Amino acid sequence: MIPQRLKKGDTIGLISPSDVITKEDLEIINRSICLMESSGFKVKLGKYALVNTLGYGATAKEKAQDINNLFQDPEVKAIFCICGGFNSNSTFDYIDYDKIKYQPKIVCGFSDSTSLLNVIYNKTGLVTFHGPTFKALTSWQTEYGYKEVMKRFYEAGLSIGEAGEEYKTIKEGKAKGILVGGNLSLVSQMSSGKYQIDFTDKILFLEELFLETPPALVSNHLYNMKQNGVFDKIKGIWLGNYDGSISIEQILLDTLEGEYNFPIIKSDNFGHIDKKTVIPIGTMAKIDTEKEIKIELLENCIE
């Protein structure tokens, strides 16, 4: 199930499923509002998007109510998480997944939004999007994220990233599978339990923020996934940005210990950096390490 593309005049809804919005955030958010309005779109805040009921954000039910309401709002055609942070998983028990199935819309975010994007896809079959949060449209020094959003959601383009970006082969091979993934620490949490991701025959994409996750903790997350059988199920791995003292690909290879035979590639065009390629979760893709651009989308992700 794929959402419809954005058209000029459409309304973008904003939710805060993770961290509370601070005064410092508001200036950046207002810049993003101006950017999208100047591009021909309207912007609508969820009722609880700026609420701080708990002292560290809105309650789980308030956050989920915003998600449910914006999916049911006929004016809203796309939903952006305003920023990342922590605890978007608190909303899971209160989301109306049945209504989402009948109101498919673009949903976009990254970092802590990983949890929300994957659970919505898992529960409904709706393709969701790992890309810039609304704040990230103007919080970086380049227009990369904005251009990616317009390419994917307005033009319905299928290309990944920009021309000339480097892709590294970590382990050779070819594979087809549906894309799932996002932030490593969140994907690791969702490798087991009530809301675990279905990793069967998937291509798994992963990125991580070094400032919060040093190499030993990256190893912890990867071993947790290994111990929960994730690497027994997937078809391939696509690694994104991680600016650690030891590369994420080396930590992954240390974890896998040569026990698996799927292809692994690496690129620096998604993650906690200005380059935020919009990656559809739930879309069939192909890894081919013999090609210059080693990952491609095989089917439409926007109508």
Tens of pLDDT, residue by residue over 242-289, are: 999 999 999 999 999 999 999 999 999 999 999 999 999 999 999 999
Residue 24 maps to which CATH number?
A: 3.40.50.10740
Q: CA angle at residue 130 from 127 to 132, to 5 degrees?
A: 130
Q: How many CB atoms lie within 10 A of CB 9?
A: 9
Q: How far is Cα 137 from Cα 274, in angstroms, rounded to an integer?
A: 9
Total structural domains within the chain: 2
| CA dist., res. 131 & res. 145, Å (int) | 7
Collapsing DSSP to helix, strand or coil, 80 comes out as strand
**129-177 tens-digit pLDDT:** 999 999 999 999 899 999 999 999 999 999 999 999 999 999 999 999 9
For residue 89, the model assigns a pLDDT of: 97
- Residues 193, 250: one domain? yes
**Running DSSP on this structure, what letter comes out for residue 141?**
S
Is residue 66 a part of any domain in this protein?
yes
The tens digit of pLDDT for each residue in 64-110 reads 999 999 999 999 999 999 999 999 999 999 999 999 999 999 999 99
Of 154, 189, 217, which marks where a domain is finished?
154
pLDDT band at 239 (very low <50, low <70, confident <90, very high): very high
pLDDT of 141 reads 87
- Transcribe 11-67 into DSSP letters: EEEEE-SSSPPPHHHHHHHHHHHHHHHHTT-EEEE-TTTT--TTSSSS-HHHHHHHH
Q: Are residues 17 and 86 in the same domain?
A: yes
pTM for the whole structure: 0.97
Domain identity same for 146 and 175: no
Q: What range defines the domain where residue 215 resides?
A: 167-297
For position 262, which CATH number holds?
3.50.30.60
Q: Residue 183: which of 90, 113, 263 has the closest Cα? A: 113
Look at residue 5 and tell me if it is in a domain: no
Query: Which helix (H) or strand (E) covers residue 114, if one does?
Result: helix 113-124
